Amino acid sequence: MEADGNLRGRATITDVAERSGTSIKTVSRVFNDEPFVRPATRTRVLQAAAELDYHPNIAARSLVRGRSFLIGLFYENPSPNYVVDLQTGSLDRLEGERFRLLLFPCQSAKAMSGKLLQLARASALEGVVLAPPLGDDPQTVKELIEARMPFVRIAPTTALDASPGVGIDDVAAARTMTEHLLELGHRRIAFVQGDPNHPSNSQRLDGFHKALSNAAVPFDEQLLEQGFYTFESGLAAGRRLFANRARPTAVFAANDDMAAGVCVAAKEYGLDIPGNVSIAGFDDSLISRVIWPQLTTIHQPTYDMAHVATGALLSLINKTPVEPAVCLPHRLIVRSSTAEAPGVGSTTRVRSL
């Protein structure tokens, strides 16, 4: 019977060399992407490795090269839907690369301040991707720069020249959603804020106010509710809004998790969505598509932002050109949770914006 590494257990580099008719050194050169390997030889080695289901030992290769080939994704966000898109985007970008991803969920940017670099070094990271609001912590940015640790930030709002950044225009995106609600005839529009420690919160609130101002619609401070980007905070905010006798006809929540909470609160109060109240979110995360009615929302390309940021980090590590700032487009996704304001016909809508 032909010798097969799989019959003896896990295939080794020796098995690949025997199957491909090459030397162990040649197999090593192929998997380390070293030059001066003939294309036919490279193909033969890779085919033998595939037949034997051989995978090189990453840790061993790292020791030989004196490198870890590890990068870290640091994030602090209470929305599980956002986090999944973030992780998936980064992991997919590393498909076929030598680098591997370590995940670092953080309690808060404040708690991580002054500690992130130490953790990155202890984990032998070659670079880091910072999700908001970690990338706006001045101490973290300062330490990474001084240590010459390659880093890329997602949606940074401060020290924009400190590192490459990837994001969207949150102000414009929130304005787009608010304009949609105004065009449906809504005048009493409530806004549920996100975590005040996240820069996106103030940006989305700013976009909301700008849209109202442009349409000459006054804002009622009683329609501003505090949330924290969680379902539970959205539910609590919705209960407060709907307990008020002067209820809003529309609610714009700064992310989908909070919007889903507002939907549940509306149903607790016997309100039809969108017949009695329209509800809109932000992110276009999974929860916006699985609740009923499905949420009208802003598509924030979280997956793409993580994908692009990870690619930019690889470019920094490999010392190849990288764009200093990438602004990805947002999209208004209209679903069944928004409709014309009660009592508003097609001829009495707010003026076109």
> For residue 198, what pLDDT is reported?
86
> From CA 128, how far away is CA 334, in angstroms rounded?
35
CA torsion sign for 229, 230, 231, 234 is negative
Spatial separation of the C-alpha atoms in residues 349 and 183, rounded to whole Å = 6
pTM: 0.76
**Which residue(s) pair with 250 in the sheet?**
189, 278
Q: Which amino acid is at 16?
A: V
Q: What is the mean pLDDT of each run of 10 residues along the chain (353 residues)?
A: 48 86 84 79 88 71 67 85 90 93 90 92 95 93 95 92 95 98 97 91 96 96 94 97 92 97 97 97 94 96 96 96 95 98 60 34
CATH superfamily label, 170-300: Response regulator (3.40.50.2300)
Query: Quick one: pLDDT at residue 314?
Result: 97
* Single-letter amino acid code for the residue at 2: E
pLDDT for residue 60: 54
Domain positions in the chain are 5-53, 65-168+302-330, 170-300
Token pair recorded at residue 104 = 């670092």
Please count the other Cβ atoms lying within 10 Å of the Cβ belonging to residue 318. 10
Write the CATH number of the domain with boundaries 5-53: 1.10.260.40
Residue type, 227: G
pLDDT of residue 349: 41
81, 283 contact by CB (below 8 A): yes
Among candidates 156, 232, 251, which has minimal Cα distance to 200? Answer: 156
Superfamily of domain 65-168+302-330 in CATH is Response regulator (3.40.50.2300)
Asked, colleague to colleague, whether 65-168+302-330 and 170-300 share their fold, the answer is yes
**Cα(261)–Cα(229) distance, integer angstroms:** 10
| Structure tokens given for 5 | 């590494």
User: What is the pLDDT at residue 66?
Assistant: 62
Q: What is the pLDDT of residue 350?
A: 38
Q: What is the pLDDT of residue 59?
A: 53
